[in-house]
Amino acid sequence: MVSVIIPAYNEQENIENTAKVIGDILRENGNEYELLFVDDGSKDRTWEIIESLAAKDNSVRGIKFSRNFGKEGAIFAGLRSCDGDCAVVIDCDLQHPPELIPQMIKMHEQGVEVVEAVKSSRGKESLFYKMFAKSFYRIMNRSSNVDLDRASDFKLMDRKVIDALNDLPERITFFRALSSWVGFKCEKIEFEVAPRNAGSSKWNFRKLVKFALNNITSFTNFPMQIITWLGVLFLIFAAVIGIQSLVRFFSGTAQEGFTTVYILILLSASVIMIGLGVIGYYMSKIYEEIKFRPRYIISVDTKDRKRKETDHENGTNG
């Protein structure tokens, strides 16, 4: 069976259509499947729609978070609760073409354990978003050896990979990178990013910056290394200035040079502050991890509810 994991946050316009499109494709392809919608604490009618679909259609299942925990949490909740031999993660807005799923499944049958769909272009994004994404991925690329520029969350994973991901102890995660970090036999297929089916993008600038900082700090120590190198550079600089001022002192011309002092104080103070900031950021990561909080909280799972209903029926009948 294939589990299709679909994170959804305020997607009331999309749920029904997405379920129908993906369901049709998989039925036509002759696959056994479950559609696992993970409602990431939506504020609109998303959950009601998922629930009514699940009541009508046995292959649809829904998990509802108690509040918005972010797409990463939704993906990992899906991975943890899916029952398939393999799982496909796909966006709810059909920006990832579901027509590719049969091809991904075929590759899985041929022994590929991770099928990654990569963007052949980045689709329609604002100039600002593009620049932001570019520089983020450049930093990630240089420092963590994982090529992410064209990567997306649209992937198929074998049960082995799902179990490996579920076994990771960390709670601040970056699915896109982790799924290649765990290794396994991996192949890529390309897709063209489609425009959003309905509704608007669920990201805003704050969320994006947070996402980028989170992922950079949980995947690399690069920013900390920059600071170290800056420190070395400043040490050399300070040595040169120090010798110069000593020479001046002994030759009796030590009056001037206040400018150098200002500059040095300002520069070193700024380096120290940057350094403290970076260390603080990594410290906060340690703090987050050490709290051992769950990365999401599930408030309703339609599967449990169904199980209860059947238990109840069995109870009354027997």
Binding residues for ligand UDP, rule: CB under 6 A, are 7-9, 11, 40, 68, 70-71, 74, 91-93, 95, 201-203
9 or 33, CB closer to ligand UDP?
A: 9
203 touches, from Mg ion, ligand UDP, none (C-beta below 5 to 8 Å by class): ligand UDP
274-282, long-range: CB < 8 A, 24+ apart: 274/227, 274/230, 275/227, 275/230, 275/231, 278/223, 278/224, 278/227, 279/224, 281/213, 281/217, 281/223, 282/217, 282/221, 282/224
Distance CA(110)–CA(100), nearest Å, equals: 16
Least gap, CB of 136 to Mg ion (angstroms): 17
Least gap, CB of 41 to ligand UDP (angstroms): 8
112 or 151, CB closer to ligand UDP?
A: 151
11 touches, from ligand UDP, Mg ion, none (C-beta below 5 to 8 Å by class): ligand UDP
Least gap, CB of 103 to Mg ion (angstroms): 21
8 or 148, CB closer to ligand UDP?
A: 8
Distance CA(97)–CA(204), nearest Å, equals: 24
Contact flag: residue 14 with Mg ion (CB under 5 A):
no
Q: Is the dihedral of CA 296, 301, 303, 305 positive or negative?
A: positive
194 or 227, CB closer to Mg ion?
A: 194
Amino acid at 223: P
Which residues in the chain belong to E strands, given as ranges? 2-8, 33-39, 60-65, 86-89, 114-119, 151-158, 186-191, 298-301
9 touches, from ligand UDP, Mg ion, none (C-beta below 5 to 8 Å by class): ligand UDP
Least gap, CB of 222 to ligand UDP (angstroms): 24
36 or 92, CB closer to ligand UDP?
A: 92
Question: Binders of Mg ion among 54-113, rule CB under 5 A?
Answer: 93, 95
Least gap, CB of 235 to ligand UDP (angstroms): 43
Cα–Cα nearest to 19, from 78, 92, 100, 80? 92
Q: What angle do CA 37, 42, 43 make, to 5 degrees?
A: 150
Least gap, CB of 195 to ligand UDP (angstroms): 10
Cα–Cα nearest to 96, from 191, 30, 204, 234? 191
Distance CA(64)–CA(39), nearest Å, equals: 5
203 or 287, CB closer to Mg ion?
A: 203
Give the footprint of Mg ion on this chain (CB under 5 A): 93, 95
